[in-house]
Amino acid sequence: MSAPTPPTAHASAAAGPAPHGSARVHEPRREDCPWCGSTRLRNRLRTGDLRRHRPGLFTVDACRDCGHTFQNPRLTAEGLAFHRRAVRGAPRDPATERVLALRTTPQRHRCTARAMLRFGEPESWLDVGTGLARFPQAAREFFPYTSFDGTDLTARVERARTLGRVEEAHVGALTDPWVAARVAARYDVVSLLHHLEHTTDPRAELHAALDALRPGGHLLVETLDPRCAFAALFGRWWLPYDQPRRLHLLPPSNLRAELRAHGCEIVAAGHRAAHVPYDLAGATALALSHALPAPDAPWRAVPSTPFRRYLRAVLLRAGTPLVVAAALADLALAPVARHTPFANAHRIIARKPKPARR
């Protein structure tokens, strides 16, 4: 008789937690950096949920020594489940969602996959946090004979397997023992594309990704850069902060040092190709949404009147040209921004060491 499937972290989403003011929602506040252990912390921002308008106040701190930026206090697993899951009747601002979707367009996925062409066609590839596996679907254009697998915290990866986008689907975190055992030393490429910022322990996730690689395999990482000048300029209106869903922002120097400490060779690194031109549009969409009448939401004690809901919808549509203008400005500035401190993301490709010959 087969052993029962272990529970996954997202299972607690079925029972929504109290929205705030409960020990179940936040862990104790940290007094040290989760990356380097330094106690020299500074506050970067305090904000509510600007994108989904869910209740709560969230704090982001940064380490003065290593630059690691993290949510502090961090949400518990129950709190994360509430803020990540879809809620019937929850407000949605189409402009903000469309801006955020610029990070996952087929064109961007193809650009990322193209970066691996120089290393030849891999036999097997694991995409971590793949969701509906849109990246493997795009990458197959360049690697038609590669076997793509995926992991995700949700059952979307099972749907991706049904659609033929991945061959094997693993529901759970890469650090879960039952997932780690299935993927250990199986892959020529492991990709972590804007995934580390959502994990509770990015260092452990990085180590698990290396464990899934064969010796000589390549790790492909894309993640946000907390040193981005737009982050300092816009503060809580910088869309990539996306509180409370993003828990960690890792400076490139920290990632490179960690990979080198494990014997990896950094074969490519930089901001140019990873930059996503959406900072001005994101800040405009968030500011517009919060300048208008508050949206109706199922967790509000008093529902909005029909007139207020109608007024908000009309004003959001009227403000769309502002977001479009900001998006055009992002695209115009992108060729310069991606070479400056305004670049908002970075990419690292590292090669796992092979065993030394005797």
In terms of Cα–Cα distance, which of 193, 241, 200 is closest to 77? 200
Of residues 82 and 190, the one with the higher pLDDT is 190
Distance CA 237, CA 231 (A): 8
Of residues 161 and 53, the one with the higher pLDDT is 161
Distance CA 67, CA 353 (A): 27
Distance CA 15, CA 347 (A): 37
DSSP-assigned letters across all residues of 169-225: EEES-TTSHHHHHHHTT-EEEEEEES-GGGSS-HHHHHHHHHHHEEEEEEEEEEEE-
For the cut 60, the answer to whether the pLDDT of residue 7 exceeds it is no
- Beta strand pairing call for 187-193 and 124-128: parallel
User: For helices 320-337 and 279-291, what crossing angle results, to 10°?
Assistant: 150
Distance CA 171, CA 304 (A): 38
Give the pLDDT score at 4. Answer: 39
Residue extents of the structural domains in the chain: 97-276+340-351, 279-335
In terms of Cα–Cα distance, which of 222, 212, 351, 356 is closest to 276? 222
For residue 5, name the pLDDT band (cuts at 50, 70, 90): very low
Alpha helices, H only, 8-85: 77-84
Give the pLDDT score at 358. Answer: 61
pLDDT tens for each residue of 191-232: 999 999 999 999 999 999 999 999 999 999 999 999 999 999
- Beta strand pairing call for 213-224 and 187-193: parallel
Q: What is the mean pLDDT of residues 162-185?
A: 96
- What is the pLDDT of the chain when averaged over all its residues? 90
pTM above 0.85, yes or no: yes
Lowest mean pLDDT among 186-190, 305-309, 338-342: 305-309
For residue 93, name the pLDDT band (cuts at 50, 70, 90): confident
Residue type at 239? L
Cβ-Cβ contacts under 8 Å for 259 (sequence gap 6 or more) = 206, 219, 266, 348, 350
Give the pLDDT score at 6. Answer: 44
Q: What is the mean pLDDT of residues 111-128?
A: 97
**Fold assignment, 97-276+340-351:** Rossmann fold (3.40.50)
Give the pLDDT score at 17. Answer: 37
pLDDT tens for each residue of 254-281: 999 999 999 999 999 999 999 999 999 9
Give the pLDDT score at 231. Answer: 97
Alpha helices, H only, the chain: 77-84, 94-100, 106-114, 134-139, 156-162, 177-183, 202-212, 229-234, 252-261, 279-291, 306-318, 320-337
pLDDT tens for each residue of 64-86: 999 999 999 999 988 888 888 77
Which residues partner with 350 through β-bridges? 219, 266
